């Protein structure tokens, strides 16, 4: 169907689609999911191949005008560590000497992915202490009015960024999640993502929450959490009402309600549980540094130099790394077509 011409006085807004990729999440999904994928020389290339192939799938699924990949640096997370020392301690994070991939092969393939991205006209950024989540959040909070964003990640924290113009492709679920289908995959209302983690904590990030409170208990005590946006103040007041009702009905008070009311935790946050946890988990106020914002602005505002990037160089690298044999002769010639189209759109945008 042909698009109708604009009517007199009508301004047609060109929608810009942008893809934001959590680089570490995408790489690790491939690296650990393809541990047995080797090239003809016996080198493990599963992380590299799966990274490129998954990225290619996303480019085939939708038309993107720009793609950004954000990486965690060796000290990424330190801004949260400075607020709360146990942060990600369960993951072996080292904020003194710098956290590095456990396996040398993992580090090698990650660098190879970054090398390919430079040739593929894909923008990327890694800061020593800023987490990729914060760059992604900062982008979403400052995007253009005519811009729609897709985030690629496996991190549930980023679900708080979903809106009318932001959706997420969850790598582990292998689905796109937006406001229309969020309730099909999660038991709480999308607007309560940050509050949920503020109250119950986050085991994967070693963040302690209210003592004795887990997500099932929270949702059982406060059903509104599932259907509409609620506030911490509202939950605390409701806890007081529930506790008073138990006392009136001569039932034993629930310790967890007292813990919610008073912000009691097993963690080191003390009486600042809610204040500290909100700083840690709320991506509506991302943690960045001045130099990090400066690097971000350079990345997003500058055009890419087409002379320094070549799809031909990518084909050379694919042969060098034995990826061409894994792709197969039938698919090899068309494998990079989605990346070629992205490059063409970037160049066209720079000219205009």
DSSP structure string for 201-247? EEGGGTEE-BTT--HHHHHHH-THHHHS---HHHHHHHHHHHHHHHH
Distance CA 308, CA 297 (A): 21
- pLDDT reported for residue 306: 76
Which element (helix H / strand E) includes 19?
Answer: strand 16-22
Q: pLDDT band for position 279 (50/70/90)?
A: very high
- pLDDT reported for residue 308: 77
Distance CA 161, CA 63 (A): 21
Structure tokens, 293 = 């914002």
Distance CA 99, CA 109 (A): 16
- pLDDT reported for residue 38: 94
Question: For the domain bounded by 16-187+285-332, which CATH number is listed?
Answer: 3.40.50.1010
Q: pLDDT band for position 345 (50/70/90)?
A: confident
Q: pLDDT band for position 83 (50/70/90)?
A: very high
Query: What DSSP string runs through 122-170?
Result: -EEEEESS--HHHHHHHHHHT--TTEEEEEEES-GGGGGG-BTTEEEEE
Alpha helices in the chain (DSSP H): 23-33, 46-61, 78-81, 104-119, 132-141, 193-200, 215-221, 224-227, 232-248, 255-262, 273-281, 290-301, 311-320, 323-327, 329-335, 337-351
Structure tokens, 294 = 């400066």
- pLDDT reported for residue 329: 83
Q: pLDDT band for position 94 (50/70/90)?
A: confident
- pLDDT reported for residue 104: 83
Residues whose CB falls within 8 Å of the CB of residue 257, separated by 6 or more in sequence, listed in order: 221, 239, 240, 242, 243, 246
- pLDDT reported for residue 4: 43
Tell me the average pLDDT across 47-63: 96
Cβ pair 193, 159 in contact under 8 A: yes
- pLDDT reported for residue 294: 98
The pLDDT tens digits of the residues spanning 190-226 come to 999 999 999 999 999 999 999 999 999 999 999 999 9
- pLDDT reported for residue 349: 76
Angle of helix 273-281 relative to helix 193-200, nearest 10 degrees?
130
Distance CA 185, CA 348 (A): 38
Token pair 């008070």 is at which residue?
A: 253
Cβ pair 91, 38 in contact under 8 A: no
Distance CA 91, CA 281 (A): 17
Rounded to 5 degrees, φ, ψ at 263 are 65, 45
Token pair 């964003």 is at which residue?
A: 149
Inter-CA distances, 146 with 3, 186, 231, Å: 18, 28, 30
Tell me the average pLDDT across 312-330: 92
Domain spans, the chain: 16-187+285-332, 190-281
Angle formed at CA 44 by CA 42 and CA 48, multiple of 5 degrees: 135
Distance CA 234, CA 304 (A): 48
What mean pLDDT, rounded, does the chain reach?
93
pLDDT greater than 60 at residue 105: yes
- pLDDT reported for residue 257: 98
Cβ pair 122, 341 in contact under 8 A: no
Percent of the chain with pLDDT over 90: 82
């Amino acid at each position: 169907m042909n698009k109708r011409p604009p009517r007199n006085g009508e301004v047609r807004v060109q929608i810009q689609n942008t893809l934001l990729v959590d680089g570490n999440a995408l790489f690790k999904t491939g690296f650990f999911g393809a541990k047995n994928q080797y090239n003809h020389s016996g080198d493990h290339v599963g992380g590299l191949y799966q990274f490129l192939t998954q990225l290619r799938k996303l480019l085939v699924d939708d038309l993107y005008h720009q793609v950004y990949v954000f990486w965690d640096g060796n000290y990424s997370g330190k801004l949260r560590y400075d607020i709360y020392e146990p942060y990600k301690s369960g993951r072996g994070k080292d904020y003194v000497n710098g956290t590095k991939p456990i396996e040398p092969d993992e580090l090698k393939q990650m660098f190879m992915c970054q090398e390919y991205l430079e040739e593929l006209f894909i923008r990327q950024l890694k800061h020593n202490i800023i987490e990729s989540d914060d760059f992604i959040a900062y982008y979403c909070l400052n995007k253009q009015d005519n811009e729609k964003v897709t985030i690629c990640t496996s991190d549930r924290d980023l679900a708080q960024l979903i809106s009318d113009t932001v959706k997420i492709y969850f790598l582990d679920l292998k689905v796109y999640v937006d406001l229309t289908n969020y309730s099909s995959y999660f038991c709480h209302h999308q607007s309560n993502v940050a509050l949920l983690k503020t109250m119950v904590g986050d085991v994967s990030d070693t963040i302690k929450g209210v003592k004795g409170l887990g997500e099932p208990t929270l949702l059982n005590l406060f059903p509104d959490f599932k259907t509409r946006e609620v506030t911490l103040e509202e939950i605390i007041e409701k806890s007081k009402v529930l506790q008073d009702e138990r006392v009136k009905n001569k039932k034993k008070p629930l310790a967890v309600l007292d813990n919610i009311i008073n912000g009691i935790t097993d963690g080191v946050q003390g009486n600042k549980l809610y204040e500290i946890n909100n700083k840690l988990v709320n991506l509506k106020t991302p943690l960045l540094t001045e130099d990090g914002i400066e690097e971000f602005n350079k990345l997003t505002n500058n055009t890419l130099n087409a002379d320094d990037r070549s799809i031909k160089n990518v084909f050379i690298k694919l042969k060098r790394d034995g990826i061409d044999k894994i792709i197969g002769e039938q698919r090899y010639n068309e494998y990079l077509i989605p990346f070629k189209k992205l490059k063409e759109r970037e160049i066209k945008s720079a000219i205009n």
